[in-house]
Amino acid sequence: MIWETIYSHAMEWVKEAGKNIRQSFDKTLDIQTKSNQNDLVTNIDKETEQFIIRKIKEHYPNHKIMGEEGFGDELVSLEGIVWIIDPIDGTMNFVHQQRNFAISIGVYENGVGMIGIVYDVVHDEMYHAFKGRGAYLNDKKMPKLETASISEAIIALNATWVMPNHRIDHHLMIPLVRDARGTRSYGTAALEMVYVAAGRVDAYISLRLSPWDFAGGAVIVEELGGIVTNLRGEKLNYLNKDSLLVAKPGLHKTIIEEYLKNGEW
């Protein structure tokens, strides 16, 4: 019972937050940088996170909250009910393009993903799942994922990961890019994950993401039988940063075993 209420509250609040974001489009943004000059944050990222957190605290004062912009709690464990929030995933797109960004929320109970919501604000597309009850795009149930071969796969990844890079052995990525049917790069981890869920791409790879980037999308993809791990093929820990491989069931195994298994990710 309680979970159904949480599910409908989460969707209602995300919709309202999305409406506020759309209305902000004609106003001047206050843009700041964080860790480097390309790491952007705006007043709208902060206001959206504060709006959602205010709603959670009002209705569920005992729940814990992790938010990218720091208005949540300092979490040291995932015990209890934890909301993991990215108020705007794809801030660079939000600032430069006013599209290709999403609000992402995952609600976890003792580390298990119960609810996933990724809202494409501009297209008014709400991807959502409740563990064990199916995953939906707006009101439409999404079908289970079937496998795909590399030669017919579109893989979402950022060009950075195929360049010489201090983080990775980029040489391992080159054959993967060569063998795939195509690659795409959307600049928003949350949407790239739900694009796997919706069958728009077959896999998504990233070398370094934070829990708020993948917590919502993971519940949706897993509900459809997609596989979500780091690049070593291990389960994610929703308290830590990690690499990410999201893919259709058989394709995930192929990518790990035939391409990535010798990497030090």
Binding residues: 68, 86, 88-89, 213
Binding-site residue set for Mg(2+): 68, 86, 88-89, 213
Q: How far apart are CA 217 and CA 104, in angstroms?
A: 7
**Which residue number, 68 or 242, has a Cβ lying nearer to ligand IPD?**
68
Burial class from Cβ neighbours inside 10 Å (0-12, 13-18, 19+) for residue 153 reads: buried
**In the complex with Ca ion, which residue's Cβ is closer, 47 or 86?**
86
Q: How far apart are CA 158 and CA 28, in angstroms?
A: 29
Closest separation in Å from C-beta 85 to ligand IPD: 10
> Least Å distance between CB 215 and Ca ion?
10
Least spacing, CB of residue 218 vs ligand IPD, in Å: 13
Q: Does 49 bind Ca ion (CB under 5 A)?
A: no
Q: Which of residues 45-104 bind ligand IPD (CB under 6 A)?
A: 68, 86, 89-91
CB of 45 to Ca ion, least distance (A): 6
Q: Work out what residue 100 binds among Ca ion, ligand IPD, none; the CB cut-off runs from 5 to 8 Å by kind.
A: none
Q: Which of residues 151-210 bind ligand IPD (CB under 6 A)?
A: 158, 187-189, 206, 209
The residue whose Cβ lies closest to Ca ion is: 89
Residue in 47, 68, 120, 222 binding Ca ion, rule: CB under 5 A: 68
* Residues making contact with Ca ion (CB under 5 A): 68, 86, 88-89, 213
